[in-house]
Amino acid sequence: MGTGTIVIGLAFVFLTILPFVLIAMSRKKQASKIAGALSNLASEHSCKIDSFEILSGVAIGIDEQQKMLFYYRLHENEEITQILKFTDIKKVKAVCVNSNQSLFNKLELIFSFHNKDKVDMALELYSSHAPLEQSEEMEIAKKWQDKINNLL
């Protein structure tokens, strides 16, 4: 085999792998940025994140000591944050919106509150515009539903 063939073969392999490496690096950088933003949000309220989950553009975390939930979402360069006290929450439920045949457009955690005057709040964990597997997100949503309900 000639040197030229080896060089062309290696260049082809490199160019084939490069997009996947760049996408992985981009996702890791975005996840790091979102984790930092969630941590900063907790720090602003004298809390620390004990456990958290990062999805595509969304982070949810809790401070078990202070009994607070922190939510951070980056959507089209707009930051959306929510802070909830467990003492205000009556229950939480994972809900699929516009679902049909195991596919859904949105996955949300719906929070009901003890105060009947306060309207239920939905925190979006997944939107069909986000690049993740739906099966993974439903498991994550149920995990957080159970985790929060157990801490109430």
Report the alpha-carbon distance of residue 106 to residue 134 in Å, rounded: 10
Which pLDDT does position 1 carry in this prediction?
A: 66
The residue with greater pLDDT, 105 or 44, is 44
Number of domains in the chain: 1
Q: What's the alpha-carbon Rg for the chain, to the nearest Å?
A: 20
**Per-residue confidence band for 59, with pLDDT thresholds at 50, 70 and 90:** very high
What is the pTM for the complete model shown? 0.77
**Per-residue confidence band for 41, with pLDDT thresholds at 50, 70 and 90:** very high
Residue labelled with tokens 């160019």: 15
Beta bridge partners of 93: 110
Domain range for 80 is 3-151
Report the alpha-carbon distance of residue 6 to residue 35 in Å, rounded: 43
Beta bridge partners of 71: 60, 82
Q: How many CA atoms lie within 13 A of 92 on its CB side?
A: 26
Which pLDDT does position 75 carry in this prediction?
A: 78
Per the structure block, which two tokens stand in for 72? 């951070």
Q: Is residue 102 helix, strand or coil? A: coil
Whether the Cβ atoms of residue 93 and residue 145 lie closer than 8 Å to each other: yes
Which pLDDT does position 132 carry in this prediction?
A: 46
